[in-house]
Each structure stands twice: as structure tokens, then as C-alpha cells.
Amino acid sequence: MVKYLLIGDTHSTSIMEAIQKVYKHTQIDSVISTGDFDDPTLVTGDMVKIMKSMDSYFVVGNHDLSYAIEEGKIVSGTSRETFYKKHPEIVDEYCERTTRMKYYDLAMGQSEIVSGAIKDQWDKTPTAKKLVKAAWENGITHDQGNCKKGRFGKILQTYMGKMKALIVHGGLAGSCGKYSDEDKNRVWYRQESIQDFEENFKKMGDTKIMIRGHDHDAQYIRKDPQTGTVSYDIDFNSPETTTSFFRLFEHRQHIVNPGALCDGQYAIIDTAVDGETSPILSFHKFV
């Protein structure tokens, strides 16, 4: 039986540091990440270390594919803000090297400088580009033996207890948002309505659990064959109340978004809670 740590969109936030913080409170057997690294050293550093040391599942995010293959066509306020907070020295060096004005404030209209600095870092880290491209096209598996594997791909599948699970960055259906119809096969779907979730449940088939990111809000949606779809919105506005628990009953289908790691959110699925016959999903926030 396994305890899974679910990590949503990373956006330059250290996965290793998050694991170490969680380890202070509970033991983790496996890590699931929905991607969107932004910082390429998280691909070549944190992700590779985790893949080589524990059972783990990483999926390619739209930001990762953009920087690895599409020359950084995505421009994201979240990416710029989190990258600059973590690496102000990289942005400043990029400004000096490219003779651009020094970057001081996101509100000053110089955000394109940070986007350029992020792309510059990916260009300097070709191994990260190769890993993302290989994962997107064919998937990467690092076999550690003893049934433990690190995986990096477009869509991944596993079992959580007896329940078939799927890991994807956005979803199998939903709103394309700013992406055109030709991008639909890229699984960057947003979930903006009950109808979007209903379509995902249909496409999941016999899969019982979907782990997804892309939308940064922590969320649990379930479909019961008898009562239909019920949505639970997880609110972390109060730092004193940082945990919510749900039983993942086998007769239902479940969609879980752990929330964005860059916002301090994560979730755990424990398949071996004493006295429980179903996996237990819990939402948490670092305080």
C-alpha cells in the first residue's frame, strides 16, 4: 500500500524542498507532479533525482513544451513572478548581458525581460529540452528495481490500490482557452464548468482517478453513478484550517487537482489508512 504526494504546477518552486517539508510530518512512498516547471534546472535536477530515488510520475506541462520545443511562446505572469522571486540574479545578469534596462518591478511593464531570461535559461540547458521532448514524444522510464520506477511523459497511468489512475497536465476534455483546435491533442484543457468535468468522466472510461493541474485551484470533483457530479471547492484562506479529507470510494470516479505548488498547496492520497477500505485524499497548504 502506498502514500502518494500530489504536486501541482511547480512554476520554479523546488520539488525537493517540498518533499523535505512533507517528510517532517509524514512518510511518502511516491510522488506525482503535474509539471509546468519553468525553471529548467528543476527538470535536470529535482525531477531526475526523484526519478532515480523513488516511485514517481511527472507529466509535461504546456510551459515545459513551450520552452523546450516552441521557443518560449507562452507568456505567463505566474511564470515571470515566481522565476524572478527565485532567481533575481539570473534576470539581472540577463538584463546586463542583453543591454536591457535593469528589472525592478513586475508592474513597470518590463515583464517581457523576465520571459526572455527564462527562455535564455532553457537555451543554456539543452538536457532539459531533450528530456521534455523525449517525454512528450515517447515517454521516459527510469527503472530502479523492486517494482519502483520514475516516469516522465504526456499522459501516465498507474493503480492506486485497486483503482486505475491517470495523470495529465490539463485533462482529456474541456475548454481550450487561448489554444486553437489544432492544440486540442495537447491536453491543455481547462475545467471551467460541470459539463467540462462530465466530459472528462466519460473519456476516463474505466479509470477511477484523474490527477490534473493546469488550473491552480485545489479541487476535488466526484461522479457518483446514483447522484451525478458533485463539486467540492477547497478554501485555504484560513491558515489555521489547512486540511480537508475525502474518501475515494471505488464505485465513483474522481478528479483531483492538488493546487499549485507555487502557491504552497499540495495533496496526499493514502491507500493504507488504518480502519479504511478506500484511499483517503487530503488537501494541505504549507504555512
Higher-confidence residue of 87 and 253: namely 253
d(CA 141, CA 192): 33
Q: What is the pLDDT of residue 76?
A: 72
Q: What are the chain's domains?
A: 3-72+130-285 (3.60.21.10)
| Contact between 41 and 55 (Cβ < 8 Å) | no
Query: Which pLDDT tens digit goes with each residue over 123-181?
Result: 999 999 999 999 999 888 877 666 568 999 999 999 998 899 999 999 998 887 655 55
Return the closest-CA partner of residue 276 out of 244, 252, 249, 242.
Answer: 249
Q: What is the pTM of this model?
A: 0.89
Q: What is the mean pLDDT of residues 234-248?
A: 59
Helices (H), 77-215: 77-86, 88-97, 111-123, 126-137, 194-204
Averaged over 83-103, what is the pLDDT?
75
